[in-house]
Structure 1
């Protein structure tokens, strides 16, 4: 296949924004996105599955070029205040997706799965699932979340983020396992559709505007984070993140539904899925005909994933939480860059979010621009 300057593995929000940022910074860069699905397809499927209506990010965190582009787009296209929620003007999923479509363009797309990476003298070779190979001087792994997380004892349970998940018609009493935003959104979606739902969580719903300290959206916290040795950043990430919390709108809706009995609340530690329900660690059994996990994703890359294979094949270093040791260019090895949550040791606790896509795009656009200027300099020197 054709040689590229840059191949971006993953066509979700991170991969698409990185491609757009590189193209703006270095228009002559020959790049392509490698993804078996249509652009943003996995993102849209996950959002629909859990019933997302608003992003948790503020309207400053989007996939456009300018900081104010989402706000301007919404005004220009007739989206009223119902599409900007609360103090932080959190965008509706509808306006966010339409804005992303308008902003991200149509970069070349190799609609295949990337199976494995190998090094070449000039850069990298990507093996595709049709047996072909594509080569590039630089590869960016923007492969999105890892596999859905299934607690021990629930290996056979369906997960809201399984491919092809369907809520289906109401009927069977259902336990939804997971106390974070995905579980709360799914419980609300199911109850609204007429399902009999028990929401199983370890602790009461806890409100927080964002899923990590908002200080890390800017230099006030990112600068000291960057000045800390890599070995100390894992603890900083754990302190900054707020897993299992709910933004005010979801917190208000779910607590109202629990109070009026629209949704039953079951509190406890699930230990086993069994015929007829869920067993808790104190011996109680919650009766249910259907169990749906809303437990997020595993923090470590799956061993069979492209990133998992790269970690094994090239001996890449990670911390105890699955974050990779990268340099400031987000490179694990020369020409091999990583974005998303695995890049948290460089980008901070928001690495996996829309803000993280913007940070990664800015970093990798600068890399592409330096490369382009270096090539121009080399041409001038030989002319």
Structure 2
């Protein structure tokens, strides 16, 4: 049988695994490689950190190929009378984080995906024969005929230049998505740096725990958008023209322009305005140019527009992720050795099935020059999974699974 190895056990990798199984690929022929001991571990940690209550995306965006699967799951699961409306937020039927997480766990259990998980890191990639890849991992070598590269940017935390000298353990400056635990914030003068959804959500959450006002420092005025890109990018309205553009530098510019970076939906903005009225949050429009740390670990934050420094005990960076291609050095080496085609920004050139080269498929950020600005989010995971599972390789694998299953060769019933 043809073995499929998915590198990355987050939203994109899990969604791709479910799509392959739904297409008919045998479960025994799928493995998922991820450094964590449970699928979606990084996603769960990051959403918990921000204090998110509802997802930004609507309820038709989830990990199952059937768009209405989450809605049916919400109707069927036990819950107190009169609480179904709490599962979704109007007007776009955005699911609660609790519902979405429960749905993910139910899918992982139904498809027994944790049994397909190999908890290790990819460290190298080679191709000993045209029909086999070898992936070097922290636990040894794995072999597969097909690869799906589903790495995200979750470990590529963006640190502003002024903060990089303090990028160390036990520093009073920490990234929101650092895997190390955040300290207790109740009695500290806390400054949160960032202007996007994570920064605002975390500021609102921290302000409910702190006995002092939380300071939220952002460079730009609050930007309000329902989604992180126009919904037209999820279908032919915008994607048809985008995919016909031969100039990939222009595609990159269109992606960057289409993303509503550093924006929040209206309901989160309203929560922020309420916290500002109640003086639980102090909003400062400025940027940090330098930092002085005193012996007692208190901070002086030197600002661009404000003459007096901002005093703090702790800074949490909600500054998102770096723009470099996911995968790191092992993928960089594989690109060179296997001759994988890349754009000047090192992101892959792929075909309509998201095939980078024969046997290697991509999803997530690696697919964005084909899928556009929504490639990184849940809707992008669904689009990528649909294309990969509809590829000739997946169709062929599912046919062979059907032929080898018990009773597959029996004549049809009369």
Aligned with 1:120: secondary structure? strand
The answer to whether the 8 A contact 2:367-2:375 is kept is yes
Which ranges in structure 2 are unaligned for 5 or more consecutive residues?
Answer: 167-172, 294-298, 405-414
Contact 2:325 2:365 in 1 (8 A): no
Equivalence for 2:408: none
Contact residue 251 and residue 369 of structure 2 kept, 8 A:
yes
1:16 aligns with 2:32: no
Between 287-296 and 214-223, the greater mean CA deviation after superposition = 214-223
1:182, distance to aligned residue in structure 2 (A) = 0.5
Which of 125, 129, 143 does residue 138 from structure 2 map onto?
129
Q: 1:41 to 1:274 in 2, by over 3 A?
A: same
Q: CA deviation at 1:313?
A: 4.5
What does 1:274-289 correspond to in 2, within 5 Å?
274-275=292-293, 276-282=299-305, 284=307, 285-289=309-313
Worse overlay, 229-238 or 40-49: 229-238
Q: 2:257 aligns with which of 234, 239, 246?
A: 239
CA–CA distance in structure 2, aligned partners of residues 271 and 222 of structure 1: 40
Contact between 1:55 and 1:90, CA under 8 Å: does it hold in 2?
yes
Deviation at 1:282, TM superposition (A): 3.6
Larger mean Cα displacement after TM superposition, 199-208 or 324-333:
324-333
- Whether the 8 Å CA contact 2:25–2:394 is kept in 1: the answer is no
Moved more, 320-329 or 82-91: 320-329
Within 5 Å, give how 1:346-365 maps onto structure 2. Answer: 346-365=370-389
Matches of 1:141 and 1:303, distance apart in 2: 9
**Contact 1:141–1:307 (CA<8 Å) still a contact in 2?**
no
Distance 1:376 1:51 in 2: 43
Match of 2:218 in 1: 201
Partner of 1:83: 87
Give the distance between the partners of 1:225 and 1:51, measured in 2 at CA: 35
Shift of 1:341: 1.6
Asked whether 1:293 is paired with 2:317, we answer: yes
The alpha carbon displacement at 1:373 in A equals 6.7
Alignment partners' CA distance in 2, 1:248 and 1:90 = 13
Q: Partner of 1:117 in structure 2?
A: 125
Aligned residues: CA RMSD: 2.3
- Matches of 1:40 and 1:34 in 2, distance apart? 12
CA gap of 1:87–1:376, structure 2 versus 1, over 3 A, is closer
Structure 1 unaligned regions, length at least 5: none
**SS of residue in 2 equivalent to 1:170:** coil
Distance across 1 between alignment mates of 2:99 and 2:291: 39
How has the CA–CA distance of structure 1 residues 192 and 314 changed in structure 2, closer, same or farther, with 3 Å as cutoff?
Answer: farther
Which of 329, 345, 348 is equivalent to 2:369? 345
Structure 2 residue 244 is matched with structure 1 residue 224: no
Q: TM-score, normalised by structure 1?
A: 0.91
C-alpha contact 2:60 2:68 (8 A) present in aligned 1: yes
Check the 8 A contact 1:277/1:291 in 2, yes or no. no
TM-score, normalised with respect to structure 2: 0.85
Give distance in 2, aligned partners of 1:210 and 1:248. 10
The 2-side partners of 1:205 and 1:361 are apart by 34
Q: Secondary structure at the match of 2:178?
A: coil
* Rounded Cα–Cα distance in structure 1 between residues aligned with 2:211 and 2:339: 47
Is 1:106 aligned to 2:112, yes or no?
A: yes
CA contact (8 A) 1:299 1:321 kept: no
Worse-superposed segment, 284-293 or 224-233 = 224-233
Structure having the higher Rg:
2
Q: Contact 1:230–1:345 (CA<8 Å) still a contact in 2?
A: no
Q: Name which of 92, 97, 111 aligns with 2:96.
A: 92
Alignment partner, residue 162 of structure 2: 153
